Structure 1
Amino acid sequence: MNICIISASTREKSASLNVANFVCTQLKQLSVTSQVSILNLHQANLPMWQEGLTPNSDIEIQLNQADGFVFVVPEWHGMTPPAFKNIFFFFNACFAHKPVYIVTVSAGTGGRYPISELRMSSYKNSFINYIPVSTVVDHVNDTINDKGEFIAQSDFIAQRIDEGLQFLLEYSHALCQVRDSAIFKEKRFKNGL
């Protein structure tokens, strides 16, 4: 099983990357047989999409090899960062029939809007499968430090992430069968609805 965690912030020292590091540690503890990688959009240097532009093949390989994803997404002005949504323009097909657990991040009490935005606008052509569990990490700087360590007084968020990751692993196993099926290989309607 191969799980890719995407830190969706382009900031150099982002709270999203801190959360991604915490999630990575948790995943490795839950599933010692799984391979876990982090795609840090700050380091990816992915240009904004334009027709005819060739994407970075290393990123495409990492996304194609994944059986499931964790999206760690900050809320910027009530939205998903454009650099993260850009990933769907370049690598749309890499997400087909693969599960995603969304974890959103906010320095305050935000973080909810990216969940509905991603569920609404990124699934059609990608055939991505968002699992029904998601987690909002409010007051992120009081919850997970810059070393990726959980520091909150209550373990509520840690428990939510544990639950989400366990569901993600189960969905990842189940959807491997879908991707091995004849109907997946047929690709009759490649653009969804």
Structure 2
Amino acid sequence: MKLTIVSGSQRANSQSLNVARFLKQHALQEFDQVEILDLHELNLPFWNEGVWQGSQEWDVWTPIAQKLKESDAFVFITPEWHGMATPVLKNFLLLTTANELAHKPALLVSVSVSINGVYPISELRMTGSKNNHVCFLPDHLIVRNSDKLIDQDAHSDDSDFVARTQYTLKLLSCYASALAPVHQDMLPLGKPFTYGM
């Protein structure tokens, strides 16, 4: 199975990217392939109608969409900025469609250098899956005091946090196995209902 981890920070060498590297190390126990997409590095244009018309500006999206189609599960990581998820992660979710994400599981991860981190999870749960139909796990991870919890080598000495991480990634793997036939069967049937009711 293939996992795609999306680091949703606009900053270079961000805490979110470090968390992505930490999660990748542990995810390799559950997934055959793990790839990190760094939204800072990708520097995608902000959504516009051209993405639907295949304008040249959106040629950059085609290989990313293909990678997402080939993935069985996802991790979406966002730092908490002013109590919100980042613009680049919300833009990324605007660009995704059911073709890439529908009925596949995703783990939400929020990163805070303090003791916060709850609000981005709530925000993403409320709107992040409306049109792409991704299935957020009931569990999530909040990485508090991230600069102390995970070192620059993407390692943590906090055994409780490591155990929680491993449990959550195992859950993600189980959901990926269980939902694979749902994605296959329901994707074509759901085409008339892309935007809900």
Normalised by the length of structure 2, the TM-score is 0.90
Corresponding residue for residue 47 of structure 1? 45
- Residues 1:67 and 2:65 are matched in the alignment: no
Please, which moves more after superposition, 54-63 or 79-88?
54-63
2:163 to 154, 159, 163: 159
Paired residue secondary structure (2:29): helix
Tell me if the contact between 2:30 and 2:173 (Cα under 8 Å) persists in the aligned partners: no
| Aligned partner letter, 1:39 | L
Distance between the aligned counterparts of 2:66 and 2:184, measured in 1? 18
The one-character-per-residue Cα deviations of 1:65-84 (angstroms, maximum 9, x if unpaired) are 11100112111110000111
| Aligned partner letter, 2:165 | I
Equivalenced residue count is: 188
Please identify runs of 4+ aligned residues in structure 1 that moved more than 3 A: none
RMSD: 1.3
- Aligned positions of 1:84-99 closer than 5 A: 84-93=89-98, 94-99=100-105
Higher helix share: 2
Normalised by the length of structure 1, the TM-score is 0.92
Corresponding residue for residue 29 of structure 1? 29
| Aligned partner letter, 2:79 | P
Unaligned runs of 5+ in 2: 52-57
Distance between the aligned counterparts of 1:27 and 1:162, measured in 2? 8
The one-character-per-residue Cα deviations of 1:108-156 (angstroms, maximum 9, x if unpaired) are 01111111101101121111100111111100011111221114xx322
- Aligned positions of 1:133-172 closer than 5 A: 133-151=139-157, 154-172=158-176
Unaligned runs of 5+ in 1: none
Tell me if the contact between 1:72 and 1:102 (Cα under 8 Å) persists in the aligned partners: yes
Distance between the aligned counterparts of 2:144 and 2:187, measured in 1? 38
| Identity within the alignment, % | 38
